[in-house]
Structure 1
Amino acid sequence: MPGGRLPHLRLAEGPGAASTLDLVGSGFTLLTPAPDAAAAAGLPVIPRPVPVDAPRWARLSGVPATGAVLVRPDGHLAWRAPHPPADAAALLGVLRRILSADGAAPPRR
């Protein structure tokens, strides 16, 4: 659930990481089975694949195996969805919503 801590799950494989907790860095981290262009375009988000047991990940994260979880630098969940953002613009919209004080997207200028 957003606001909660990222669940620990031992990784099935992955260079230098033993747990989902090891995937979180100093910026926002997008965990999804297939990170792609959604986290590109210079956004402050690090895309990371989640090479774990899909049914267990789905149960612990609250998203299906095809879903996406955005993690804050402090290891708390910022956002989750059944599918990753479609592109960088969609991911930017998510970031704007979660970073605004009232949860609404800031007005466009």
Structure 2
Amino acid sequence: MKIFTVLLLVVLSGCYREPARPLEIYTGRYEAAGKPNDFYMDISVEQGRLVVTDAGSIYKKRLDYLNRDIFIAHGFGWSLQFTRNKQHKIDGILLSGSEHLKKVTKPVLKSGFE
């Protein structure tokens, strides 16, 4: 039981650290492959933290850093792993290990709730 508790604390402690790299490398719009307007997510920086807004929603959820390029969407229950291309630049998100969203060049829309 003690080993499990220690392991759990080590894993959870990663949620409270910040990534060493600038957060702006993660920002942008990400769309589901084959469904560009059906499902997308906007990632932005607010008050020094990454936040996510999903398609058509006005609600933003903070992204808690786990490790490397992996974040947890607080309140959505999603894990987001940012993927990189051969040049090591962010090119997509693997959402909860199943859905892959590709980064696109469309601007992130500003809502009136910021």
Question: Which is richer in strand?
Answer: 2
On whether the aligned pair clears a TM of 0.5, the verdict is no
Q: Taking structure 1 as the reference length, what is the TM-score of the superposition?
A: 0.30
Q: Taking structure 2 as the reference length, what is the TM-score of the superposition?
A: 0.29
Question: Which is richer in helix?
Answer: 1
Structure number with larger C-alpha Rg: 2
